[in-house]
Structure 1
């Protein structure tokens, strides 16, 4: 992954558009973090979710419990990822939190829902427990990939533990 990011940084203008950021920075990072956990979870890009008329939308990315019905069926949404468009992390968190609330209600359980906001180079992590939202003000960066992947591993470990408590 490091070699791929170095190549991207050297030869590709990732700031030319939101699509360039998504395709060259965000999704490759999401996929690398997801790969070790692919048997338990599903990674979705721009998957429509709906709880009711108010809580409806298409998060940039989400991670759900892997459905027993196959990879085309959405399991319980557990982690929502929003792009901080134009580096607007506050706006990204507003979008992410709305999706987190929808996911929490869709799951119909007191599960913790995790959220991430990123501009492709900087990543910020948060969670929604019942009606309390908190986020880590620290920004993880692609420049320190081992720390970023460590944060991802922590989130996936939390999701695994949670699934053990809330089996189906």
Structure 2
């Protein structure tokens, strides 16, 4: 088993987690995107995409790079790297995007604070896969001496984004969905995640 193989039932039975939904970011402040990001997304949408990889490259990567630049590059973005924490329990495999306050680019290291999965269509399956990855990310953080209150994740088609928070033994799915054609709202949510996560870690 690997991250894409998990079902909600598997996660509940194997790791004792629960799922519920609420509005996670109802009062978030919008963030004005740069002209570069607007142009990048415009070109990405016009060129189109025919795979999860192309969605990642043309729509998701520019948004995450903008977020990183806005925060003075204080975190690393790992793309397409394996997070193999406990293969015996299925906590292994590739993650589309991992964000970590570590400045090491060569390999994934804690503190990981957010994981995003870029899916061709199925946001719901992406949420389950991301939840499994967040369980692994928490274990990595704990192994390296970090115990944040919450970790965040996202499932996205590139055009539509849905977020979740992992806290205690519970996953909270955001009832709201954010669209790439409303970049100020989307960037506002992502910036809120960075701010909340920064407060939960000691960032060197």
The interval holding the TM-score normalised by the smaller chain is 0.7 to 0.9
- TM-score normalised by L of structure 1: 0.87
Q: How far did 1:7 drift?
A: 2.7
Alignment of 1:2-151 (within 5 A): 2-10=38-46, 12-14=47-49, 16-53=50-87, 54=89, 55-67=91-103, 70-76=104-110, 77-85=112-120, 87-108=121-142, 109-111=146-148, 112-151=150-189
The structure 1 segments of at least 4 consecutive aligned residues displaced by more than 4 Å after TM superposition are none
* DSSP 3-state at the match of 2:182: helix
Partners in 2 of 1:105 and 1:126 — Cα distance?
18
CA gap of 1:17–1:71, structure 2 versus 1, over 3 A, is closer
Q: Per-residue displacement from partner, 1:91-119 (whole Å, max 9, x unpaired)? A: 00111000000011111144211101100
Q: How far did 1:8 drift?
A: 2.8
Q: How far did 1:88 drift?
A: 0.8
* DSSP 3-state at the match of 2:109: coil
CA gap of 1:56–1:38, structure 2 versus 1, over 3 A, is farther
Q: Structure 1: where are the runs of 5+ without partners?
A: none
* DSSP 3-state at the match of 1:30: helix
Q: Per-residue displacement from partner, 1:30-74 (whole Å, max 9, x unpaired)? A: 21122223542110001111221221121111001214xx33242
Q: CA RMSD in A?
A: 1.8
Moved more, 28-37 or 110-119: 28-37
- TM-score normalised by L of structure 2: 0.73
Q: Structure 2: where are the runs of 5+ without partners?
A: 1-36
Tell me the matched-pair count: 161
